[in-house]
Amino acid sequence: MKILNICAACAAAYATVAISACADHHLPSDPVRTMPVKALVIEVNGEDYTAVPSLTDDGAFASVLDLAVKIPSVNAKVTTIALADGYSCPIAAGDLVTFSDDYLLPLELTRGNATETYTVRMSFNPPPFFYFVKSSDSDSEGARYFIDLENPVKIASGTYDRYYEGEVDLTASNWDNVGLVTEDLSTILNLAAGPWPAVSFYSWIPEQKAAKGDGYFPSDGPWNDWLATNGNPDIVSPGVWRVNYDSASNVVDMTMTQWAVSGSAVAKLTPMRYDASTKSWSLTAKLNQGSFIFETIPVAFGDPRFNLGLRTGILGQLGSEGDAIEVGTAGEYRITLTLSNSPYYTFSLSKI
């Protein structure tokens, strides 16, 4: 969702203009009325933002109020709410509120025996990102180092700062050169080097070179045997890598990730299998009543480990150090984990 630019005239209209009554039969039949929400300020991630009503094509107030924020979160706090005379609302200043996963908050207003529902719609700029490119990425003619802008692979900053992350599929990319490309497609971050023997964790400091502007982004490397498992039998789906980039220190960390399920709902740490066609991990297993989280199995001793749990904060359903996912009834379940669209990490849990 992108931030909506609200003009000063619209904001002024919000405060002063009376409009014809809506045709909604739930509303009182006033021929002229003011906007029921006179003021609404909501705190998101420690900053206050004013909700501004959107307008219909004919200039009337719509039933949507836009809340343009820097960094989104489904958790928020009402700082100020003021309503027109005769209206009431169950939400008051100081209340904590939770937006839906698509960043919407219903606002039910009552006047007499009639109710109407407004929606607060949180809008924001997409997280900053880098494209990920590899030598086997090709166009319809077979030309390599091609970025499909309709379906690109990205690493993104879910916290809108120096830290970028994402999972990339290298299951068919043994010894490919890989690199990062800036969001404006002007610069390639790469390094003409690679480990030998192959490793499951590789840290490198990229060098920059200008892109040619022709839609292809040849990388000098690094390269690696992206499928190497060091003979670890717990790695059932090699070739999926987590990429972390710190733009301040200029360090890229790449870690092979074998995702698994652990917790009281499973008998033991259980690896998931990766499907390259859907770019998701899955597991069908008998689960106990209890809870579980997602965590990685290190390929080699000393490799970084990651975990994901349920959160209701900034972006996505899942996040590092999130809460355990509850299983209320024992039985056979299908669990899927999708991490290909950073930072929007999602999962599903369905009883079979």
Tens digits of residue pLDDT in 59-110:
888 999 999 999 999 999 999 999 999 999 999 999 999 999 889 999 999 9
Report the pLDDT value the prediction gives residue 19, as an integer from 0 to 100.
32
Token pair for residue 158? 């879910």
Mean pLDDT over the full length of the chain = 90
Tens digits of residue pLDDT in 304-324:
999 999 987 777 789 998 999
Looking up tokens 């590789």 gives: 202
Tens digits of residue pLDDT in 20-44:
333 344 444 443 346 899 999 999 9
- Cα of first residue to Cα of last residue in the chain, in angstroms, is 35
Neighbours of 224 (CB within 10 A): 27
Domain ranges (residues) in the chain: 8-123, 127-352
Phi and psi angles of residue 110, each rounded to the nearest 5 degrees, phi first: -125, 135
pLDDT band at 163 (very low <50, low <70, confident <90, very high): very high
Give how far the C-alpha of residue 21 lies from the chain's centroid of Cα atoms, to the nearest Å.
39
Report the pLDDT value the prediction gives residue 13, as an integer from 0 to 100.
42
Report the pLDDT value the prediction gives residue 16, as an integer from 0 to 100.
38
Q: Which residues pair with 285 in a beta bridge?
A: 333
Taking the C-alpha atoms of residue 59 and residue 211, their distance in angstroms, rounded to an integer, is 46
Tens digits of residue pLDDT in 104-117:
999 999 999 999 99
Q: Are 69 and 124 in contact (CB under 8 A)?
A: yes
More confident site: 19 or 142: 142
Tens digits of residue pLDDT in 254-288:
999 999 999 999 999 999 999 999 999 999 999 99
Torsion of CA 123, 125, 127, 133, to 10 degrees: 130
DSSP string, 12-76: HHHHH--EEPPS-TTS---SEE--SEEEEEEEETTEEEE-EEEE-TTS-EEEEEEEE-SS--SEE
More confident site: 14 or 125: 125
Instruction: Report yes or no on whether pTM surpasses 0.85.
Output: no
pLDDT band at 295 (very low <50, low <70, confident <90, very high): very high
Longest CA–CA separation in the chain, Å: 79
Torsion of CA 41, 39, 125, 336, to 10 degrees: 70
Architecture field, domain 8-123: Sandwich (2.60)
pLDDT band at 174 (very low <50, low <70, confident <90, very high): confident
Taking the C-alpha atoms of residue 291 and residue 2, their distance in angstroms, rounded to an integer, is 36
Coil/strand/helix, residue 131: strand
Taking the C-alpha atoms of residue 300 and residue 318, their distance in angstroms, rounded to an integer, is 25
What is the percent of the chain with per-residue pLDDT over 70, rounded to a whole number?
90
Phi and psi angles of residue 328, each rounded to the nearest 5 degrees, phi first: -80, -30
Report the pLDDT value the prediction gives residue 34, as an integer from 0 to 100.
67
Phi and psi angles of residue 9, each rounded to the nearest 5 degrees, phi first: -65, -40
